[in-house]
Amino acid sequence: MPAAIEIEGLTKVYGYGSDEVEAVKALDLTVGHGEVFGFLGPNGAGKTTTVQMLMQIIFPTSGKGMLLGKPLGDISARERIGYLPELFQFHTFLRADEFLDFHARLYGIPAGRRRQRVAEVLEIVGLNENAKSRIRTFSKGMLQRIGIGQAIINEPELLFLDEPTSALDPMGRRDVRDLILKLREKGTTVFLNSHLLSEVEMTCTQIGILNMGRLVRVGDIQSLVQPTHCVDIRVEGLPPETMADIRNLASKVDGDEKEMTVTVENEAEVEKVARIIMESGAQLREFTPRSQELEEIFLQSIEESD
Ligand SMILES: Nc1ncnc2c1ncn2[C@@H]1O[C@H](COP(=O)(O)OP(=O)(O)O)[C@@H](O)[C@H]1O
Ligand SMILES: [Mg+2]
């Protein structure tokens, strides 16, 4: 079976001459079926541009892509794909149920099934009590929910969500997270654009970090989030030679001989650091091991690539 998303050398240059912006630079990426891929990056990194190229809203300057084994723009693949744009504008004169029905019709879902599916989706996105309200009257959060509703109306195998929680309050964010987790259980492939690390950490199986149009990290969330271990240490009277031993052992030491964060490769080395300190006769005040957090990996990847 081909991958859900295959991208090769995808590049987008906006504008001409001195106005030229290379928004996405030779992006290579493969996302397997059933993965929830978190596409992380600061504002302006090129996330929206990437998804818009995949959705054929804008055309790549060069490179190519396949979705569900079909070239970009293929209609038979499009029927099995859902998309929530970052900035969308809906027909505000429609009622919520009419709006979803309209989108279901665009996907060619037959009338009987449509009624059923519209009711299901209103329930899923928590708008069943607003079914008969006009979209004009909706709050930002409700708009975001109905947007997600139209994106899943066709029960897509592959779903693109561009910053789906940007307009939501913490409760709304949690609902969207839960929804993504449900889709993940069902085996839906999700491509999630986000600048929110916690959201990606809680929902995704894989992440890619984009900075200034370049993919700077990509991989399974486990392998990215737990490759190194950090230990926060506070200590009194650490001899200089012991400090030197720690520096030799560690891949990184931040701080000084009283208060430091030591980064090592594995669990065994965490223990070694503890032993060295104990054997030196110094007084250990604090020793708190933790795995490197996504936020640190994110910031580190961005800094290294800048
Ligand atoms: N239509 C456009 N014309 C010119 N530049 C654009 C256009 N859309 C986006 N850009 C530029 O491309 C870069 C990437 O933007 P975008 O894809 O929106 O990033 P992100 O979604 O990661 O915040 C930014 O520098 C942005 O200013
Ligand atoms: Mg964007």
Helix (H) / strand (E) containing 215: strand 214-220
Break the chain into its structural domains and give their ranges: 5-222, 226-305
213: alpha, beta or left? (left if phi > 0; alpha if psi -120 to 50): left
Residue with tokens 């009194």: 236
Pocket-testing residue among 11, 12, 14, ligand 1, by greatest number of atoms within 8 A of Cβ: 14
Query: Is 85 exposed, middle or buried (CB count within 10 Å of its CB: 0-12, 13-18, 19+)?
Result: middle
Q: Mind listing the pLDDT tens digit for each residue in 58-111?
A: 999 999 999 999 999 999 999 999 999 998 888 889 999 999 999 999 999 999
Tokens of 121: 């989706």
The Cα 8–Cα 29 span in angstroms is 7
- Going by alpha carbons, the residue nearest to atom 24 of ligand 1 is 44
Superfamily of domain 5-222: P-loop containing nucleotide triphosphate hydrolases (3.40.50.300)
> What is the predicted pLDDT for the residue at 207?
94
- Does CATH number 3.30.70 belong to domain 226-305? yes
- 158: Cβ–Cβ under 8 A, 6 or more apart, which residues? 4, 5, 67, 68, 80, 81, 82, 188, 189, 190, 191
- C-beta of 14 in contact with ligand 1 (< 6 A): yes
For residue 143, how many other CB atoms are within 10 A of its CB? Answer: 16
- Whether this prediction's pTM lies above 0.85 is answered by no
> What is the predicted pLDDT for the residue at 305?
80
Q: Mind listing the pLDDT tens digit for each residue in 110-155?
A: 999 999 999 999 999 999 999 999 999 998 888 989 999 999 999 9
- C-beta of 130 in contact with ligand 1 (< 6 A): no
